Amino acid sequence: MGERRISNSGLGVTAVLVLVLCVLLVLPARAEVAIAGKAGTLGAGVELTAGLAPQLNVRLGVNGYTYSDRREASGIEYDGDAKLRTATALLDWHPGGRGFRLTGGLVYNDTKLEGTSIPPASGVYNIGGVPVPVSFVRTLHAKADFDPVVPYAGFGWGNAVAPGKKLGFFVDLGVIFQGKADVTLTPDIPANSPINTTPGARDALDILIRREEQDLEDDAADYQYYPVVAIGVSYRF
């Protein structure tokens, strides 16, 4: 699973760069341009807005945020970090040329969820439905990532390049369709663990780890559709 994600990530960066280049090539020679700062469920971000036509704008942006939390997943408690990293290429259509807008586009999604298991007081993990002593595997390191290039759809209010004003405010509401999480679970097995010294034990553990990864992916199903809410301030040049 890891090799597929690395390859897709490289393709994702290339696809976004090609899209940005295409957008820059079709901009009018004297397009109105604005820059904005914003904050929301994707973290803090900056955006560049340029007018393509009286009712059509393009927005290019980057966003980021990291937060830590402790939560249970598939019966095991983890100390986790969510690293939100996105780049956006969006088109805004303003019906009637007013502030209301309908938005669609692509997101380069480098968001990752990482966690380290907290050994339970019982001294036993439940891995893939089978009890495994903590002393056998010590800790479990979990990592989840998502499809690298994903669609966005939403609506909002605000036109950063509208004539007659320099400073503007805007609101975005939408959803990123980021797909199913791809989970990798790695045990930190001590050198003297029976997993390493008992014939067949490592193969059996690998089967349980694959089951546990599937359980974690099922638990993360709610993250397939990531809600986007953002507010910001723009300045037109």
Could you give the angle at the alpha carbon of 185 between the alpha carbons of 183 and 190, nearest 5°?
A: 170
| Mean predicted lDDT score pLDDT of the chain | 88
> Which residues make beta-bridge pairs with 49?
34, 59
For 115-140, what is each residue's pLDDT tens digit?
A: 999 999 999 999 999 999 999 999 99
With 80 as the cut, is the pLDDT of residue 20 above it? no
- The Cα-based distances of 123 to 5, 84, 208 in angstroms read 34, 33, 18
Q: What would the two tokens of residue 167 be?
A: 């400073």
What domains are there in the chain, each with its CATH number? Answer: 2-236 (2.40.160.170)
Closest CA to 226 of 181, 171, 169: 181
Handedness of CA 8, 180, 46, 16 (dihedral sign): positive
Q: Is 1 exposed, middle or buried (0-12, 13-18, 19+ CB in 10 A)?
A: exposed
Tens of pLDDT, residue by residue over 23-61, are 555 556 556 899 999 999 999 999 999 998 889 999 999
Average pLDDT over residues 140-148: 93
Residue of 46, 49, 45, 52 lying closest to 26 (CA atoms) = 52
pLDDT at 168 over 90: yes
For 70, the token pair is: 């402790």
